[in-house]
Amino acid sequence: MKDFLLGLAFMAAGAIVYLVAQQFPTMPSLQYGPSLFPSLIGGGFMIGGLILAISHVGALKGIGHGMTWHMDREQLRNTLLSILPGLAIVFYILTSEWLGALLSLALVMFVLMLARRTPPLLALGVSLVAALIVDLLFSRYLLIPLPEGLMSIWG
């Protein structure tokens, strides 16, 4: 079922890529313009997606004959937890400018550790030390301009 849906998703993505590629400018001196490769890739997506969907069309028939496709509570919980690192990155992107990289990273680590049932005190200690090391390594040693945010108050 998942493969069937992924096949459809690739077909849709292929169509979008193909249509966007048609809008790229062409130059009279060039026989093959900037749209050639993206168009081929879009076409490839559509063909590959179609093959994938067709080869798993049996899953649809199964649903039609009484088979159900559902996610149990455990699967749903695991899927939601797997999004956690992604959400943590979004949190960092949104907050690092005003909280500063050090605090944002420490918060991200602390929450992620708690999510896997690390004792809170241990999680807090490790998060703070690790954030300090990462910040020192990248902003002091490698001279990466990580946002300072609130920490700029201490200079």
Partner 1 sequence: MDAFLQGLALVFNFQTLLVIIGAAIFGVFVGAVPGLTATMAVALLVPITFYMDPTPAIAAIVTTSAMAIFAGDIPGTYLNIPGTPASAAYVGESHQLARQGRARETLGTNLVCSMFGGLFGTLVLVFVSPSLAEVALKFSSFEYFWLALLGLSCSIFISIGSKTKAFLSLLVGLLLSTVGLDMMSGAPRFTFGIPDLMAGVNFIPVMIGMFALNELMMFYGSRNEGRNVPAVHKDEVFSSVPKHLKRYWRNLLRGSSTGTLIGALPGAGADIAAWISYAMGKSRSKDRDAYGTGHIEGIVDASSANNSGISGAWVPALVFGIPGDSITAIVIGVLYMKGMNPGPTIFMDGGGLIYALFIVFFIANLIMLPIGYIAIRSAKVFILTPRKILMPIILCFCIVGAFAINNTITDVWIMLITGSVAFILARNDFPMAPAILGLVLGGTLENNFMSSMLKSNGDLLSFFSRPISAGLGAMVILIWFVPLFIRLYRRYRGAPQSPRTP
Chain residues in the site for partner 1 (CB under 8 A):
2-3, 6, 10, 17, 20-21, 24-25, 27, 30-34, 37-38, 41, 44-45, 48-49, 51-52, 55, 78-79, 81-86, 88-90, 92-93, 101, 105, 108-110, 112-113, 115-118, 122-123, 126-127, 130-131, 134, 138, 142-146
CA-CA distances (angstroms) from residue 155 to 131, 135, 151?
Answer: 18, 14, 7
Closer to partner 1 by CB, 29 or 66: give it: 29
Extract the tokens encoding 105.
């990273």
Residue 151 has what DSSP assignment? G
Q: Minimal distance in Å, beta carbon 121 to partner 1?
A: 13
What is the distance between the alpha carbons of residues 9 and 21, in angstroms, rounded to a whole number?
A: 18
Please give the single-letter amino acid code of residue 5. Answer: L
Matching residue, tokens 């200690």 = 125
Q: Minimal distance in Å, beta carbon 58 to partner 1?
A: 15
Q: Minimal distance in Å, beta carbon 99 to partner 1?
A: 13
CA dihedral 55, 57, 63, 67 (to 10 degrees): -20
What is the distance between the alpha carbons of residues 7 and 69, in angstroms, rounded to a whole number?
A: 17
Q: Minimal distance in Å, beta carbon 14 to partner 1?
A: 8
Closer to partner 1 by CB, 27 or 153: give it: 27
Closer to partner 1 by CB, 54 or 67: give it: 54
What is the distance between the alpha carbons of residues 133 and 120, in angstroms, rounded to a whole number?
A: 20
Closer to partner 1 by CB, 33 or 149: give it: 33
